[in-house]
Structure 1
Amino acid sequence: MNSVKAFAPATVANVACGFDIFGFAIEEPGDVVELRRRDEPGIVITDIFGDEGRLPRNAEKNAVTVVMLRLLEHLGIQDFGCEVVLHKNMPLGSGMGSSAASSVAGVVAMNELLGNPLTRQELLPFAMEGERMASGSAHADNVGPSLLGGFVVIRSYTPLDIFTIPVPEDLYCTLVHPDIEINTKDARFILRNEVSLKNTIAQMGNVAGLVAGLMKADYELIGRSMVDVIIEPVRSILIPEFNAVKQAAISNGALGCSISGSGPSLFALSRGMESAIKAGNAMQQQFAAAGIESSVHVSAINKGGAVVLEK
């Protein structure tokens, strides 16, 4: 095989109460990575589209290629050469798992080019290294669902223990991205290191309730459990109109609404596509009333994750 192209979808991480342990993928947007073998050894980034020239072209400093380098090292493959083209189809610092999509598309494409020596689960630690490069933390709540699809739970990071849970067929996500940017490192920096026992208990109840609601297709329980008493109160101050946009979503039929990843994107979960579209329109109108442009994506939960497009 001389060339391959792979796609990895955007994701919603944290999912309100599940900081660093919950995440799910949506159908689109997503990043596309093209690889082509070359005779000379080394991984070379030949082009990046959609980043406005902001991402590094050095293979050791870009999330899309550092995962490939670590994979080759793990497999003991030397003198391997390929050219890389990255198509960024979502904004940087969006809270939509932008760096995760690049990392996942890169590692899936490289694994395919090498004849699939590793399973998707085995690729996860390598994809996480792309997150470490991008944000300083090797969290899995974006790369996990982007790689595997579905609603992902990270039970433990040491050792890494990750699994998916079923979700209701009629559950839809509305993802609204306002035209502002929040750096993931900054969004993690402002978080408190200590949490009160009262808030810990409340958060644990919501985590358990959300898992149960998803598995039982209990939409009311899903809505009641989409409450974040630890992270959202701190990060929401970075997002203009957060409270108004959240209320607009819920007032227009959404089960719940919170910050996607580190923001500034907001997501809502709804029962049925019609409700999800209605919530998205209301959220977008609320941002527009404040003079903030935004984009809206409505999607069922993506159950397949990354895919190989061409080979």
Structure 2
Amino acid sequence: MRTFIKYYEPSLNPLSGGKGAVSVLSPATVANVVCGFDILGFALNNPTDEFTVSLSDEVGVHIINDDDFNLPTNPEINVSGAALLAMLEECPDVKGFTVISKKVVKPGSGIGSSAASAAGPVVAANILLGNRFSKSDLVRFAMFGEKVASGVKHADNIAPAIYGGVTLIRSIFPLDIISIDAPPLHVTVVHPQIEVRTADARQILKQHVLLKDAIKQWGNIAGLVAGLIQQDYDLIGRSLEDVIIEPVRSILIPGFNEVKQKCKDAGALGGGISGSGPSIFMLSKDAETAKAVEEVMKDVYNRIGLDYQTHLTTINQEGVKQVV
């Protein structure tokens, strides 16, 4: 196993995207999709991060941050760095990579910031290498980045970021990812300006689940997948129910129950916590309803007096894409 100990602070790194550099846009994602904890996710058309990756003559991964998030540049504790180090383990002909990170998706927002940071660079590096790795391989590498972020190798954000659209993670070991066709859906996201760390949100989860709750959850997951495939909006709406995770995690998010109920009253199919939160997402059949849902979200948080950011978007069918 190779050891990578050399890294540059951004101000000292002489590299700015070498010959043959590839730039990509890496999407935000919604994971869990209410009832599908750790197994369902979809990509968003906005917001997106931008990463530029080039081959380096220096051994290891060299990170330049071109944003204000002050993320670590040591690749072993950086999400992008960990993913690229995992890739380098299977590239004996490659010395190293330089990655320039320009993040927009705020860490701790619940819309897959760490997944965007892991997925984007490995896709860009793969393009540099002539696409020698499959999408499944890229997910496998990117999961090392997710482990840095949360302590767990989960793929419900990574898979849709790389594959695009809606994905089902049937298994992690071995990795088994299924793309799910879905009808047109409009997505409204509100991000209350608090941070919920994924690792912390996992620690509060129940370790034991009642059989009756598990049965209900299985029915909702199956119903949601069937509703997406059959383009049955009513079934999608009925299935967007979580009886295991949401009741626990929602207590970390001010205004959650009010936002959810009022958005459904405004015509949303349903929704819930995006990832581990604090972002809340709602799905709608049309743009007009999605906009009305956004206004509901704004009204709730304006009244609470909590700063927030909203995103009005649709499902991204491409995943990470090269900037041409």
TM-score, normalised to structure 2, is 0.92
Residue deviations 1:115-174 (CA, integer Å, cap 9, x gap): 2111222211001111011110110000000011011001112211111111112x1111
Matched, 1:140 2:155: yes
- Give the count of matched residue pairs: 306
**Paired position in structure 2 for 1:307:** 321
**Paired position in structure 2 for 1:61:** 77
Give the distance between the partners of 2:58 and 2:215, measured in 1 at CA: 57
- TM-superposed CA distance for 1:74, in Å, is 1.4
SS state of the match for residue 137, structure 1?
Answer: coil
Amino acid paired to 1:203: Q
Residue deviations 1:261-287 (CA, integer Å, cap 9, x gap): 000000001111111111111012111
Amino acid paired to 2:148: M
Give the distance between the partners of 1:292 and 1:307, measured in 2 at CA: 34
Give the distance between the partners of 1:160 and 1:287, measured in 2 at CA: 40
- TM-superposed CA distance for 1:44, in Å, is 1.2
1:41 to 59, 73, 81: 59
2:50 to 1, 12, 32: 32
Give the distance between the partners of 1:81 and 1:129, measured in 2 at CA: 17
Give the distance between the partners of 2:153 and 2:199, measured in 1 at CA: 12
**Paired position in structure 2 for 1:184:** 198
**Paired position in structure 2 for 1:198:** 212
Residues 63, 134 of structure 1: 8 Å contact kept: yes
2:303 to 289, 295, 303: 289
Residues 257, 268 of structure 1: 8 Å contact kept: yes
Runs of 4+ aligned residues of structure 1 deviating over 6 Å after TM superposition are none
Matched, 1:94 2:112: no
**Paired position in structure 2 for 1:277:** 291
Residues 50, 89 of structure 1: 8 Å contact kept: no
Matched, 1:110 2:128: no
Give the distance between the partners of 2:175 and 2:136, measured in 1 at CA: 10
Identity %: 49
Residues 136, 175 of structure 2: 8 Å contact kept: no
Q: Structure 1: 5+ residue runs without aligned partners?
A: none
**Paired position in structure 2 for 1:23:** 41
Q: Structure 2: 5+ residue runs without aligned partners?
A: 1-18
Give the distance between the partners of 1:209 and 1:43, measured in 2 at CA: 43
Give the distance between the partners of 1:172 and 1:270, measured in 2 at CA: 5
